[in-house]
Chain A
Amino acid sequence: MHGFFFLQLLTGLATAAQLFLLAAGLTVIFGVTRVVNFAHGSLYMLGAYLGYSLITRAPPTPVGFALGALATAAIVAALGAALEIGLLRRLYRAPDLFQLLATFAVALMAEDLTQRVWGAEDLALPRPGFLAAAVRIGAARFPLYDLVLIGLGPAVYLALLALFRTTRWGVLVRAATADRDMLACLGVDQRWLFTGVFALGAGLAGLGGALGLPDATATLQMGFSSVTDAFVVVVVGGLGSLSGAALASLLIGLLQAFGIALVPRSTLVLVFVVMAVALVLRPHGLLGRVPDETGRAAMPDLIRPATPALRALALAALLAALALPFVAGPFLLSVATEALIALLFAASLHLMMGPGGMASFGHAAWFGLGAYGAALAALALRAPLPLALVMGMLLAGAVAALFGLVVVRLAGVYLAMLTLAFAQIVWAGAMQFGEISGGDNGLLGVWPPRWLGGPVGFYFLALALCVGGALVLRRALQAPFGYALRGARDAPQRAAAIGLDITRLRWAAFTLAGAAAGLAGALFAFAKGSVFPTYLGLGRSVDALLMVLLGGIGTMSGPFVGAVVYTGLYDALLLATDAWRLVLGAAIVAMVLLFPQGIAGAAARRVRA
C-alpha cells in the first residue's frame, strides 16, 4: 500500500511539473500584457514538433537532448516575439475578446502550417537508453526521466522567481503586472518589455513541449488540448500569478494521479470539480488578485431600434429564405438549413455575451446537450420529432440553469474559462460513457419523420423555429428584461442601486441562452441524422463566438449577419481549399484588425456617422 501511494505521488508530481511548464508562460504573459493567449497551446505544440526535429538530429545523449530542448525553447521564444510584434501589439487596447479571437486564429493557422511542415502523422521520439531507464521503487519501476522532470519543474519555478525578484528587468515586469499605466507614466517603454515577456512565455511553452516528448507523442491536436489544460491551471491558480500556477499544477497533478488510480473515469470530472470549487470559494483563483478593471471594458455601443431600411432588408431576406427551396438544389438547401441553425445558436450566445455581458467559450455544451437529448429521446424513448426537440431544449436549459447557479457570479475571463471547462467535461463524458452516447461512433439514425416531407419540409421547420426563436430572443432583449440585463452589464453598481437583482438577471439570461442553443442542437441532430461528440467540442463553441464577433457584439442584428456570413464563408472555404484553417485564420486576423466592431457594428457606425 505504501508502495502504491509513493508511486502515485511521484506520478502526480511528474504530471504537475509538466503542467507547470505548460502553464507558467501563459500566466506570465497574462500578468503583464493582460492578453489571454489562445495560441499558447500552439507554441507548446511547436515546441514538441521542433523539439522532435532537433533532438532526433542531436547525438542520443543526455547533453544532446538538453541542448535540443534549449534550442527549441529559444526558437519558439523568437516566434513568440514575432507574434507579439506583428499582431498583438496592435490589439492591446482592444477588448480582451478580440485578443482571444486573434490568438485563436493564430492557433488555427499554426495547426495548418505544422501539418504542412511535419505531416499529419503523430511523431514519437525514439527512446535511447537514458530515456528508457527506470529506477526501482519497491516492487515497481518508475521512469528515471520523470524523476528528472520532478526536479525540473521546481527548478524552472525558482529560476523564474529569481528572474523576477532580482533582475532589473524582472522588477520592471512586476511593476507592469501591478500597474502598467503607472509604469508608463514613469517613462518606461513598455513595448519592449511586453515583447520580452511574450518571448519568455513562448520560450517556456516551447521548452515544455520539447520536455514532454519522451512521455507523449507530438500530435496536431495537442495545440487545442493543451491550451485547455493550461487555462484550467492558470484559472485555478489565479490569472497572472506564477506561484498560483505552481500550486494549481501540484493540486491538479496529484488529483489526476490518485483519481485515475482510484476511479479510472473520474479524472476529468475531478479536475472540473476542483476548478468549480476553487472559483466558487475564490472567484479570482487560489492566489489571484482582484483585477483592476478601470478603463478595460469597451464602451458599449448605443442600441437603437431598427431603422425602416433595416426592417425592409430583414423582410427581403426572409422572403428570399422562403423562396429558396424552390430554386436551390439539395446541397445549397442543406447549407441553408445549417445556416439557419447556426443563426439560432449564434443568437443564443449573443444574448449572453452581448447584452448579458457574459462571454462563454463553451457554448457548444448546450448545443451538444440539446442534440444528445433529442437523439436519445428519438432513439431510446421513440419520441416523435416535436417531443424530441422539446426534450433536447429542456435538457440543455435545465443543465444550464443548474450550472448557471454556480457561474453567473463570476466575471470576464474566469466565467469564459469555467464554461469552457464545463463543455470539455461534457465532451469527455460523451466520449467515455459510450453505452449511452455511442462514444466516438455517436448516435445514428436520427431522421425526421416522413410526414415532414424530406429536406424541403425540414428546411421550413428549421426556418420557422430558428428565425422564430432568434426573433423571440431579440424581442426579450427589447422588453424590460433586456433593458435590465444591459443595465446590469453597463453599470452594475448603478443597477443594484435602482433595485435590480443582477445575479438573477444574469442567471435568467444564461438559462435562456442554454435552452435556445439546445433547440438549435436538437434541430441539428435531425438535420444530420446523427450526433457526435464533436457537437460538444471546442470547435463548435468557437464557431458561435466567431459568428457573434463577426456580426458585431454591440448590435442587435449582429448574430443574424454573422451566422449567415460565417456559415457561407466556412462551407465555401471547405469546398475551395484544403487549407481552410489557414485561410479562416487569416480572415479572422484581418477582420479583428479591420472591423473591431464586427460587420453589423461597422455598418451601424457608418450609417450613424
Chain B
Amino acid sequence: MTLLAAERLARCFGGVAALRDVSFAVAAGEVVALIGPNGAGKSTCFNLLSGQLRPSAGRIRLDGRDITGLDPASICRRGVGRSFQITATFASMTVRENVQLALLAHHRQIWRFWRPAAAVFRAEAEALLAELGMAAEADRAAAVLAYGDLKRLELAVALAGAPRLLLMDEPTAGMAPGERGALMALIRRLAGERGLGVLFTEHDMDAVFATADRILVLARGVLIAAGRPADIRADAEVQRVYLGVEA
C-alpha cells in the first residue's frame, strides 16, 4: 500500500534547478534509501517532503491526500516524523524532557498552563528511550550528549510523534561502525513491527545496501535509478554517475 507518493517534484533556487521531475513512492513498512553524490538534491528533497521548503512544481501525497505546500507543523500532524542532518535537539532540556515535549506535542497537550510538564508522559518517554538503548541517559542534558547519542535522541523524538512515515537525513553520520549497524537494525525492526515507512539518506553504502528494501539514486537533481539493492548495484548508469566507475 502506497504511503508516500512524490509526483514530478521540482525545486529551483534562483535559476538553479536543485531537483527536477522526481517521482517515487514509499509503501508502509518499507525502508527506502535515497542516495547520491553531494549536491545531488537529497536534502532539498527531504525539505520538500517535510515542508521546510515548498516545491516549485509537483505534488506530494500522503495516503493519497495532497500535502503539497503545507507547513512543517501540519505535515508532522499528518504523521510524518523527521530527523535532521545537523542534529537539532532542545538544549535547555534533559534527554527525557526532549522526548516528553515531542509526546506532549503529538497528544495536543501544549496549551496547558498549570500542570507541571515533568510528570506528563514520563513513563512513555522512558519506554521509548529504553527501546533505543538510552534509558541510562534520561536525566542528562541533551546539550552534552555524544554525537551518536544525539542521533538516537533525534530518532526518539521523531518516533514520539507516532509517525507513519519517518524521514531521516543521514541517521548514522558521525557514529562508530558498530553503532551504525545497531541503529539501522533497529530502524528495520521498527518498520516491520509498526508498519512504518522509512525514507533515509546515507553516505555509508554498507548501511544502505544492508538495510534498504529499495534504493533511489539522485544525481544533479534527477532520479537516475530506482530499484532493489541488487539491481542498483548492477546498474551501469549508477556506477558511472555515482560510484565513479567508467562503464
Given contacts A491-B91, A493-B88, is CB(A483)–CB(B117) below 8 Å? yes
Partner of A499, one of B77, B94, B120, B143: B77
CB nearest neighbor in A for B160: A498
Partner of A487, one of B82, B101, B113, B115: B101
Complex contacts, A303 vs chain B, CB 8 Å? 92-93
CB neighbors of A among B201-224 (8 A): none
Partner of B90, one of A476, A487, A496, A554: A487
Partner of B84, one of A490, A494, A501, A554: A494
* B100 → chain A closest CB, angstroms: 7
- Judged by a CB distance under 8 angstroms, whether A291 is at the interface is no
* B102 → chain A closest CB, angstroms: 5
Partner of A483, one of B71, B73, B101, B157: B101
Stretch of B13-21, B30-38, B103-111, B233-241 on the interface side: B103-111
CB nearest neighbor in A for B77: A499
Are B81 and A484 touching (Cβ within 8 A)? no
Contact with A along B131-142 (1 / 0, CB 8 A): 000000000010
- Judged by a CB distance under 8 angstroms, whether A475 is at the interface is yes
Are A493 and B113 touching (Cβ within 8 A)? no
CB neighbors of A among B50-107 (8 A): 50-52, 71-73, 76-77, 81-82, 84, 88-94, 97, 100-102, 104-106
* A157 → chain B closest CB, angstroms: 30
* A439 → chain B closest CB, angstroms: 39
Are B100 and A499 touching (Cβ within 8 A)? no
Partner of A497, one of B50, B92, B109: B50
CB nearest neighbor in A for B82: A497
Tally of B interface residues using CB under 8 Å? 42
CB neighbors of A among B105-154 (8 A): 105-106, 109-118, 120, 141, 143
Are B101 and A475 touching (Cβ within 8 A)? no
- Judged by a CB distance under 8 angstroms, whether A478 is at the interface is yes
Are A302 and B90 touching (Cβ within 8 A)? no
Contact with B along A495-531 (1 / 0, CB 8 A): 1111111100100000000000000000000000000
A498 and B74 CA atoms in complex are apart in Å by 9
Given contacts A302-B143, A496-B71, is CB(A483)–CB(B106) below 8 Å? no
Given contacts A300-B91, A302-B92, A302-B93, is CB(A498)–CB(B157) below 8 Å? yes
- Judged by a CB distance under 8 angstroms, whether B161 is at the interface is yes
- Judged by a CB distance under 8 angstroms, whether A299 is at the interface is yes
Are B71 and A498 touching (Cβ within 8 A)? no
Are B73 and A499 touching (Cβ within 8 A)? yes
- Judged by a CB distance under 8 angstroms, whether A481 is at the interface is yes
Contact with B along A451-484 (1 / 0, CB 8 A): 0000000000000000000000001101111111
- Judged by a CB distance under 8 angstroms, whether A486 is at the interface is yes
- Judged by a CB distance under 8 angstroms, whether A301 is at the interface is yes
Given contacts A300-B91, A493-B52, is CB(A478)–CB(B105) below 8 Å? no
A494 and B92 CA atoms in complex are apart in Å by 14
Complex contacts, B115 vs chain A, CB 8 Å? 479-480
Interface centre among A487, A497, A501 (most CB of B within 10 A): A497
- Judged by a CB distance under 8 angstroms, whether A305 is at the interface is yes
Interface centre among B89, B111, B157, B161 (most CB of A within 10 A): B111
* A508 → chain B closest CB, angstroms: 8
* A220 → chain B closest CB, angstroms: 41
Complex contacts, A478 vs chain B, CB 8 Å? 116-118
A303 and B97 CA atoms in complex are apart in Å by 10
* A553 → chain B closest CB, angstroms: 11
Contact with A along B156-183 (1 / 0, CB 8 A): 0110110000000000000000000000
Are A493 and B93 touching (Cβ within 8 A)? no
* A513 → chain B closest CB, angstroms: 13
Partner of B72, one of A299, A302, A496: A496
CB neighbors of B among A22-58 (8 A): none
Are B117 and A480 touching (Cβ within 8 A)? yes
Complex contacts, A496 vs chain B, CB 8 Å? 51-52, 71-73, 76
Given contacts A482-B117, A498-B101, is CB(A490)–CB(B91) below 8 Å? yes
Partner of B114, one of A476, A490, A501: A476
* A581 → chain B closest CB, angstroms: 35
A497 and B50 CA atoms in complex are apart in Å by 8
CB nearest neighbor in B for A481: B113
CB nearest neighbor in B for A302: B141
* A303 → chain B closest CB, angstroms: 5
Are B105 and A494 touching (Cβ within 8 A)? no
Are B91 and A481 touching (Cβ within 8 A)? no
Are A483 and B91 touching (Cβ within 8 A)? no
Partner of B76, one of A305, A476, A481, A497: A497
Complex contacts, A499 vs chain B, CB 8 Å? 73, 76-77, 105-106, 161
A303 and B93 CA atoms in complex are apart in Å by 6
* A95 → chain B closest CB, angstroms: 14
* A306 → chain B closest CB, angstroms: 11
Complex contacts, B91 vs chain A, CB 8 Å? 299-300, 302, 490-491
Complex contacts, A487 vs chain B, CB 8 Å? 90, 93, 101
Complex contacts, B51 vs chain A, CB 8 Å? 496
* A6 → chain B closest CB, angstroms: 43
Complex contacts, B77 vs chain A, CB 8 Å? 499
Are B92 and A486 touching (Cβ within 8 A)? yes
CB nearest neighbor in B for A491: B88
* B58 → chain A closest CB, angstroms: 21
A303 and B94 CA atoms in complex are apart in Å by 8
A554 and B82 CA atoms in complex are apart in Å by 28
Given contacts A491-B90, A491-B91, A505-B110, is CB(A497)–CB(B101) below 8 Å? no
Are A498 and B161 touching (Cβ within 8 A)? yes
Given contacts A478-B118, A479-B112, A493-B52, is CB(A301)–CB(B89) below 8 Å? no
CB nearest neighbor in A for B141: A302
* B77 → chain A closest CB, angstroms: 5
A78 and B144 CA atoms in complex are apart in Å by 44
A39 and B93 CA atoms in complex are apart in Å by 36
Given contacts A483-B100, A483-B101, A483-B104, is CB(A494)–CB(B76) below 8 Å? no
Complex contacts, B111 vs chain A, CB 8 Å? 480-481
CB nearest neighbor in A for B144: A302
A487 and B157 CA atoms in complex are apart in Å by 12
Are B84 and A493 touching (Cβ within 8 A)? yes
* A481 → chain B closest CB, angstroms: 5
Complex contacts, B112 vs chain A, CB 8 Å? 479-481
Given contacts A499-B73, A499-B76, is CB(A484)–CB(B110) below 8 Å? yes
A480 and B118 CA atoms in complex are apart in Å by 8
Are B89 and A475 touching (Cβ within 8 A)? no
Q: Mind listing 20 A-B residue pairs with CB under 8 Å?
A: A302-B94, A476-B114, A478-B116, A478-B118, A479-B113, A479-B115, A480-B111, A480-B115, A480-B117, A483-B97, A493-B72, A494-B88, A495-B90, A496-B72, A497-B76, A498-B81, A498-B102, A498-B161, A499-B161, A500-B73
Chain A interface (Cβ < 8 Å from any Cβ of B): 299-303, 305, 475-476, 478-484, 486-487, 489-491, 493-502, 505, 554
4 closest residue pairs by CB, A with B = A494-B88, A499-B76, A496-B72, A300-B92
Q: Other than the known A498-B106, A498-B157, A500-B105, what 9 A-B pairs have Cβ atoms closer than 8 Å?
A: A300-B92, A302-B92, A479-B115, A480-B110, A484-B104, A487-B90, A487-B101, A499-B106, A505-B110
